Structure 1
Amino acid sequence: MGGFLYTLLIGFLGALLFFVLLIVGGYFGVKFWFRWKFGKILEQMKNLGGAMAGAMVPPMRLTFQREDELNWADEEALKRDTAFLIAEGFQQVGDFEGEESPVSMRAFVHTEHHIWAAIQSAYGMKQWTDLVTRYADGTSWTFANLADHGMDCPPWRTANYLPDSPIPDLLERCLADRPQGKAMLPASAADFPQVVSDAYAREMDWRMERGGVTAEEIERTLAKDNQTAEPQSIRMIQFGWTQAISTFLDEQCRERFLEGGGVSAREWEEVRDRVLVIHDRTPANVLFDILPGAEDDDESPPEDLWSGAEGDDADELPRLQALRKRMAVDGPRTVFAELNAELPEGRRSRKLGQVTVEAVTADLYVQPEWEDDFDDDDDD
């Protein structure tokens, strides 16, 4: 079921979401990237075109709401394919739009054949259909009349790509090729939106656990458009995934901490703008940017802020490079706690508590308000 809409998100939303993340991500040290690399990387993106978007960062979660007025790439094909599915015994569930992305989806179920079907489109551009069968053992088989996007599939999902195949052929292949010797889960119209969201979340959790996309996935995705994956481009894409995963976990940890009653609502409102979330996957550049002293290195641009591979960080800021190596040994939470303890008392962050989300443990701190005092001094 993870195949629903994933290809679309990878192909069309990645670049947009990645740059939004960078623009609002000065908090995470991306200010250095823009200051010294913006022009060069934008030129690379321009040269790579849509292929580069093929391995960027889709949203970590995807939810749907019913919507009657949707944007479709081919209205005639939509009517034709809808009529065919209904004639074949599918029940039309309704039309839905993704809340986190402009995805149009017309959903169907076939209760006898245990098939979930979705005609999908985005931005009124590419339009295709997925047919999915889910099994009681947690596996699923997907048949899509779309080209393989080049990304790895999680071990429980088998994806079959039949580019530009008409839906009758797609259904024939689905019925003939999917496993028959094990229990299939029933396809229910009432469960459709939640099933899609849950399947998507399961696959994205798997990708987060892997740390994002691999260099091999990026190379395959670019190669499909006859593009070459330059080392710097690969590092940039992986940096985007690292940042997106970290931001998502930050948000999840904040929500879990509030749900657990770690602080009163009044106290949270007073400190929420100064709360830091340091978890097991916090990147080095996040710690670098939030610890006092990062501004002292402004005059020395990092050549590869997003670099993580051995030998690629030679041009980083010395403090960032040292921090990255230290975190590789002791982990983000330990390193931050130690560096925070070394600060003068008035500049230390105060620990609020600890939570665990998605098997990731996080410490929550409140930054001191000393920064306002420094701003006042600068104005004088």
Structure 2
Amino acid sequence: MFLDFLKLVAAVVFGLMLVVILTVAYLRWRIKRWVGELGDEIKKFGDQFAMMGGGMEPLEVELERTQSSPSPQYQSVIEGWTSDVESLGFERVGDFHMQPTAVWMRALTHPESGAAAVVYVMEPVGVFYDLVAKFENDDSVTVTDNQYALVDFPPWSQVVRLDAGTDPSVAYSRLLDEVGSQPVQPYDPINFRERFEAAYRKDMLWRAKRGDTPQEVRRVMNSPLTEAQGNNDLVQATMESRREMRAAQFEDFLRKQYLKQSQLSALEYERIEERMVIVHELTPSSTLLELAEEAFWDDEADEEQPIPDVVLKIAEEDDPLEAFRRIQEYFPSPNYFEHYDSVAGEITGDIYLRPAD
């Protein structure tokens, strides 16, 4: 189990953004049971919801250099930490905003050990730091003073969690002990940003494909980040909401990826854009059934034809891409959705076109 610095950031962003979904699910759950308490619940969670904003943790981030500084309340901690790390031989890479999140970070790298050091400012967590080494086999180890152990990490990641505010020299010694004689891929000021962004994407795609676990959702519910409690109905509602939002996120990711990979002209894309249907690894069964309803709609009678039970059953199978290929065999017009192209890579998907008007 290995973890590098950006994996921890991804986890914290995941936890913080999950609060938003928890809020929505919590309110929905409460409305069903205690309608009269709606006003109190909005007041209780409204400030936190507004602070976090809507949406999922991003699948991709971009490190944008910045000259701005975080809140003055963090300045002394950041500068003290930076001075301590530079005294260990680390050299400053720069300050960044991790777009599209609200995370501010300062990065440094060590020319001899190849390690990276990052201090983050993230509301409402505050300030925390990571020291990381990446091995030649792409595994990694991180020593951190972040206390929010909210979510699981990929099998290639290891984290060593120290007490908040532990002196960086102690953390660096621990990192070197963990590395030992293992060969590393050194971080440097030139490759830092590219590696950070690529590894974040890899980690988030792993997390998205695997999906949330009830245990992770409960940990966030029971953390200081939210006062929600892990009722089973709320856990399931939250997980379902996130699956649907993640599916939409994957569709947008694939659409952009396809535009980069294909040779489509802008004119050709505009011609088919409104007809495009993207089915991918995380497309939920509910979406497959919605597409089936389109195919079973009788324009002349202005009503939906009965959908065979076998279609309902197939739509629930584990592989959405294969399921959609199979259920089309039962459509009144098997070629209702024309297969246009496929996308392979980090996410696999099929592109179909609805009938032209």
Could you state the TM-score of these two structures normalised by the residue count of structure 1? Answer: 0.73
Unaligned runs of at least 5 residues, structure 1: 23-32, 297-317, 371-380
What is the one-letter code of the residue matched to 2:351?
Answer: L
Alignment correspondent of 1:230: 231
Contact 1:278 1:364 survives alignment (8 Å): yes
| Distance in structure 2 (CA, Å) of the matches to 1:319 and 1:93 | 59
Distance 1:290 1:39, change over 3 A: farther
* Match status 1:63 vs 2:62: yes
1:288 and 2:289 aligned: yes
Equivalent-residue separation in structure 1 for 2:261 and 2:85 (angstroms): 47
1:148 Cα deviation (Å)? 3.8
Q: Is the 8 A contact 1:252 1:357 kept in 2?
A: no
Distance 1:98 1:366, change over 3 A: same
Q: 1:324 to 1:118 in 2, by over 3 A?
A: farther
SS in 1 for 2:293: coil
Contact residue 129 and residue 145 of structure 1 kept, 8 A: yes
Query: What residue in structure 2 maps to residue 213 of structure 1?
Result: 212
CA contact (8 A) 1:15 1:57 kept: no
User: 1:18-37: CA deviations, max 9, x gaps?
Assistant: 599x9xxxxxxxxxx99x86
Matched with 1:357 is 345
Alignment deviations for residues 7-46 of structure 1 (CA, whole Å, 9 cap, x no partner): 4312333344x599x9xxxxxxxxxx99x86945985995
Q: 2-side partners of 1:295 and 1:45: how far apart?
A: 45
Q: CA, structure 1 residues 136+320, in 2 after alignment: closer, same or farther (shift >3 Å)? A: farther
The Cα shift of 1:111 comes to 1.5
Offset at 1:84? 1.5
Deviations 1:213-241 (A, max 9, x none): 11122233434458642222222332243
1:272 partner amino acid: E
Task: Identify the residue that residue 375 of structure 1 maps to in structure 2.
Answer: none
Match of residue 144 from structure 1: 144
Map 1:112-261 onto structure 2 (within 5 A): 112-123=112-123, 126-168=126-168, 170-175=170-175, 177-210=177-210, 212-225=211-224, 228-261=229-262
* Whole-angstrom distance in 2 between the partners of 1:19 and 1:271: 37
AA partner of residue 289 (structure 1)? E
C-alpha separation between the residues in 2 aligned to 1:40 and 1:239? 17
Equivalent residue for 2:314, pick from 320, 326, 332? 326
Shift of 1:338: 5.2
Q: How many pairs align?
A: 331
- Mapped to 2, the partners of 1:320 and 1:58 lie a distance apart of 38
What letter corresponds to residue 248 of structure 2 in structure 1? T
Kindly tell me: are residues 221 and 177 of structure 1, through their superposed partners in 2, closer, same or farther at Cα, counting changes over 3 Å?
farther
> Match of 2:100, SS?
coil
Q: Is the 8 A contact 2:106 2:118 kept in 1?
A: yes
Structure 1, residues 47-95: CA drift from partner, whole Å, max 9, x if none? 79979x9xx9421112211011132451111121112222222111110
Matched-pair contact (CA < 8 Å) for 1:11–1:50 = no
* 8 Å Cα contact 2:12/2:150 also seen in 1: no
1:10 aligns with 2:14: yes
Contact 1:90 1:108 in 2 (8 A): yes
In the alignment, residue 59 of structure 2 is paired with which amino acid?
Answer: M
Q: CA deviation at 1:268?
A: 1.4
Whether the 8 Å contact between 1:128 and 1:146 is mirrored in structure 2 is yes
Change (3 A) 1:245 1:85: same
**Contact persistence 2:132–2:175 (CA under 8 A):** no
**172-181 vs 280-289, which moves further:** 172-181
**Residue 367 of structure 1 pairs with residue 320 of structure 2:** no
Matched residues in 1 for 2:43 and 2:170: separation? Answer: 35
- Percent identical among aligned pairs is 21
The one-character-per-residue Cα deviations of 1:238-275 (angstroms, maximum 9, x if unpaired) are: 22432343223323332343344465432210221331
> What's the counterpart of residue 324 of structure 2?
336
TM-score by length of 2: 0.77
CA distance in 1, matches of 2:112, 2:340: 53
**Per the alignment, in what secondary structure is the counterpart of residue 104 of structure 2?**
strand
Q: Deviations over 1:144-186 (max 9, x none)?
A: 1111423112121111112312333543553454130211222
Structure 1 pair 96/291, CA: closer, same or farther in 2 (3 Å)? same
